[in-house]
Homo-oligomer: A and B are copies of this chain.
Amino acid sequence: MMTESPLRLGIAGLGTVGGSVVELLQSQKEILRQRCARPLEIRAVSARDARRSRGVSLQGMEWVEDAVALAHRDDIDVVVELIGGADGVAFDLCRSALEAGKHVVTANKAMLARHGFELAQLAEHRNRALAFEAAVAGGIPIVKALREGAAANSVESVTGILNGTCNYILTTMAKTGAPFADVLAEAQQLGYAEADPGFDIDGWDTAHKLTILASIAFGVRPAFQSISVEGIRFIRAEDVRAASELGFTIKLLGVARMDRSGISQRVYPCLVPLRSPISHVDGVHNAIEFSGDYIGQVMIQGRGAGGGPTASAVAADLVDIANGRLSTTFGQPATALAEARPMDGQASEGHYYLRFLLHEQTGAVARLAAVLSKHGVSIRTLVQKDESQSGDVPLYLTTHRCAESAMRAALAEVQASSDLAAPPMLLRIEYF
């Protein structure tokens, strides 16, 4: 409608996402004109290297050397932070911008997971937006769905495939039977994995995103420090194959749950049944499932990364601000966000997958089963393979529901046994 003054933007960071945001705001001008009460106008940009070609025109935008200076300009209403990194310039810029009474739109999950509570307080104190749809799962509007769409619910759980790199690797392992290291190398060649892949494959990226989702879902302060994180480095081709034979596929999940005792936040690779919708979320796609007491179970999936989807999410936040649709940062006032109390770990229960390598000795399987049984761990399915060249016998099994503490105790006893040719491997099974 364009009857009002423009919403003036300062964009910090012109990498893949920043470049895509500039490109989107230019090429979708017509669409945005219809959908915004105020025009969106880029006043200034800042990035490390002014000379790099980005394939977009920066005409009419002022180039600012020091990104943090964007926070103090009178001609900017919204700072769009696309620099990245939990601390440093990104955090300085966002903090300064909110203190100066500007809206902030960011894709910075690491910063939100670590400093989200402090930033939310700053934003709400001045009634400004701290918007971050792009920080979780790229273009998928999961922040909006959870914070606004499920606002009338007590949310019980949020679970997601939140890292495309890991999902690509696990999907490819399942498809080709290739070992982890080979698939990782291929993913690096294709640009799906970084040269230093630890941030993705060790689960940290998933943990950042899960922290943010859990905060919105449960109304607690982001509690990154209390999250338990396992990555996918130790998943073997034989686990992927055995899972498939048992009716499962392996996914790296972020899982947050709430009960009366508190909140559990964990990142781990686990088996999901092949008949569950989430098991079909393949390749670089992301998916998030949440459950609320009225809404029931909702699942959203789509492209969780890349310039286009992420720019779409940044722009959606800008449209909201231009239309005066503000929200508290995590769905309720920061002052009302409780400290996340950890769930009573003793009470944790689950279904499990186990891989053993046994010496070929009479009665080894029976002895193993007896130890599990003694601790209350009951076997559901068991596959014994005749495939080892060494004379040792690989054994894969799934269990019925049991206490995690019982499982740990049983494994401790099994590990002391002379039947074992290698340390056992344990994965959770998540039913959806």
Residues of A within 8 A of B (CB): 1, 20, 24, 28, 31-32, 34-35, 133, 139-141, 144-145, 148-154, 219, 275, 277, 280-281, 292-303, 306, 308-309, 311-313, 315-316, 318-320, 323-328, 331-333, 336
Contacts and interface: CB of A to CB of B under 8 A. Distances in A.
A295 B280 contact: no
Contacts of A139: 292, 294-296, 298
Contacts of A303: 295-298
A332 B141 contact: no
Nearest to A306: B296
Contacts of A149: 133, 141, 144-145, 313, 316
Contacts of A297: 302-303
Residue of A139, A293, A295, A306 most packed against chain B (CB within 10 A): A295
The 5 A-B pairs at the shortest CB distance, nearest first, are namely: A141-B149, A152-B315, A298-B302, A139-B295, A294-B312
A141 B152 contact: no
A327 B323 contact: yes
23 contacts: A24-B152, A24-B294, A28-B152, A35-B151, A35-B152, A139-B298, A141-B144, A144-B148, A145-B149, A145-B300, A151-B316, A151-B319, A152-B311, A152-B318, A152-B319, A153-B312, A277-B301, A296-B309, A298-B301, A300-B300, A320-B325, A324-B324, A325-B325
Given A139-B294, A144-B144, A298-B139, A31 B154 contact: yes
A139 B315 CA distance: 25
Residue of A148, A154, A318 most packed against chain B (CB within 10 A): A148
A38 to B, nearest CB: 13
B292 A296 contact: no
A336 B3 CA distance: 14
A288 to B, nearest CB: 10
A32 B300 CA distance: 24
A145 B292 CA distance: 18
B34 A333 contact: yes
Copies of the protein in its oligomer: 2
Q: Is the interface of A mostly helix, strand, loop or mixed?
A: mixed
A294 B309 contact: yes
Contacts of A144: 141, 144-145, 148-149
Nearest to A31: B154
A217 to B, nearest CB: 12
A298 B296 contact: no
A161 B297 CA distance: 16
Residue of A293, A294, A311, A326 most packed against chain B (CB within 10 A): A294
A24 B145 CA distance: 19
B333 A308 contact: no
A363 B77 CA distance: 75
Contacts of A35: 151-152, 328, 331-332
A427 B163 CA distance: 38
A139 B306 CA distance: 29
Contact of A320 (B141, B148, B309, B328): B148
B298 A152 contact: no
Nearest to A332: B34
Contacts of A336: 1, 34
A334 to B, nearest CB: 11
Contact of A312 (B20, B150, B302, B306): B150
Nearest to A25: B152
Contacts of A301: 277, 298-299
A297 B309 CA distance: 9
B295 A325 contact: no
A245 to B, nearest CB: 19
Given A35-B332, A148-B141, A302-B295, A326 B327 contact: no
Nearest to A155: B31
A303 B150 CA distance: 13
A145 B313 CA distance: 11
B148 A325 contact: yes
